[in-house]
Amino acid sequence: MNDKLFPNVARVDEIIDGWQSKSIAVLGDVMLDHYVWGSVERISPEAPVPVVEVKDETYLLGGAANVALNLKKLGCNPFVAGIIGDDSAGGELNKLFSILGVDGSGIEIDQYRPTTIKTRIVANNQQVVRADREEKREIDSDLERRMFERLESRIDDISGLIISDYGKGIITSSVLKKIIKLCRDHGVFIAVDPKDVHFRSYKQVSVITPNHLEASFAYGLKIRDEETLKEVGFGLIRMLELESILITRGAEGMALFKNDGTLHLLPTVAQKVFDVTGAGDTVISTFTAAAAGGGSLLEAAFLSNQAAGVVVGEVGTAQVDAETLRRVTTKYIEKSQ
């Protein structure tokens, strides 16, 4: 990314101030992240596996719920729509929503579906194993209708919608069709964190944010170099009639494609990488907040890249607050001048 394309410090302040208190809806797979913290000092005599001595455990918002928490930390007012089970994990999620000040009133209960839980065992600051408890079947038409009506009732109040699709059955093709039309009819910015099963249903949205593997799979061409990157990025723009696509590329940074034929490559700004868990949530949250705050697509990508550089340096699912983002971005701009 060329230095001339950096927003200056005053512009960064303007965008961050602009998104404060903006209402942004998050629709998708809400989850409970369960962390078991401990240490390893020996190998089990029963099998060649480490024995983790448990010291603590924590529960955090995960999936679409973590997207909402990212927005809250940035200063936005998120509204979450999704499905949980009638179980203790669902109760824990609702408790966390209340404690953290996240509006979970758009969440419906499916008594036949367990709340999705991801349990990560972390020892000596390294993830040892992850265990998932989930149900991936698609929700029925009644739940679809109720979820859509929750969003429809708030459509005039929201500045953006994030569709957080983890492939757990909440996001269906029919839900996507109705929600995208609703938002387009009301001029609402639509951002999608995609899954391959629904890729062809993300038509005419403002931005999708796949990683390079997801983008390669969706287009049917492996990204190997800059030429194949361009072919995949612009190919998906044409195929899905997108306004833009932001492809995250790990250590190689990000690539922003726009439907006017422009491409911007943003190098990674991460100084250290401990854990990429939740980094995609941070990217799409910051991008959408920036768009809601009056930022251009390129400015939104720049700020998303800065935010991702912060959270990958933390162990576990992390978020970045507005003042931290303002500080690290200012430092980066001043250093680059």
Distance of CA 66 to the CA centre of its chain: 8
Do residues 85 and 109 touch, judged by C-beta distance below 8 A? yes
DSSP string covering 199-227: GGG-TT-SEE--BHHHHHHHHTS---SHH
Residue 43 counted as domain residue: no
Residue 127 lies in a domain: yes
* 170 domain-assigned: yes
Distance CA 33, CA 115 (A): 11
CATH number for the domain that contains residue 202: 3.40.1190.20
Which amino acid is located at 143 in the chain? L
Q: How far apart are CA 126 and CA 149, in angstroms?
A: 42
Q: Tell me if 38 is assigned to some domain.
A: no
DSSP secondary-structure letter at 294? T
Q: Identify whether the C-beta of residue 333 lies closer than 8 Å to the C-beta of residue 9.
A: yes
198 in a domain, yes or no?
A: yes
Q: How far apart are CA 39 and CA 22, in angstroms?
A: 42
Furthest C-alpha separation in the chain: 63
Beta bridge partners of 109: 84
Q: Could you tell me if residue 46 is inside a domain?
A: no
**140: its two tokens:** 């029925």
Q: Distance between CA atoms of 214 and 211, rounded to whole angstroms? A: 5
What is the per-residue pLDDT for 270? Answer: 62
User: How far is 20 from 294, CA to CA, in rounded Å?
Assistant: 11
What CA–CA distance (Å, rounded) separates 304 from 300? 6
How many angstroms separate the Cα of 19 from the Cα of each of 72, 84, 129? 11, 29, 37
Residue 176: inside a domain: yes
In a domain, 44, yes or no: no
3-state secondary structure of 249: coil
157 is catalytic: no
Please count the structural domains in the chain. 1
What are the strands of the beta sheet with 207-208, ordered from one edge?
103-110, 77-85, 23-28, 160-164, 189-193, 207-208, 244-248, 254-258, 263-266
pLDDT tens by residue, the chain, 337 residues: 444 467 889 999 999 999 998 999 999 999 999 999 999 999 999 999 999 999 999 999 999 999 999 999 999 999 999 999 999 999 999 999 999 999 999 999 999 999 999 999 999 888 899 999 999 999 999 999 999 999 999 999 999 999 999 999 999 999 999 999 999 999 999 999 988 778 889 999 999 999 999 999 999 999 999 999 999 999 999 999 999 999 999 888 899 999 999 999 998 886 554 445 558 889 999 999 999 999 999 999 999 999 998 887 665 556 789 999 999 999 988 888 7
Task: Annotate 29-92 with DSSP letters as a single string.
Answer: -EEEEEEEEEEEEEE-SSSSSEEEEEEEEEEEEEEHHHHHHHHHHHT-EEEEEEEEESSHHHHH
Say which of 185, 275, 281, 321 is annotated catalytic: 281
Q: How far apart are CA 67 and CA 5, in angstroms?
A: 27
* Parent domain of 274: 3-33+56-336
Contact 84, 90 (CB under 8 A): yes
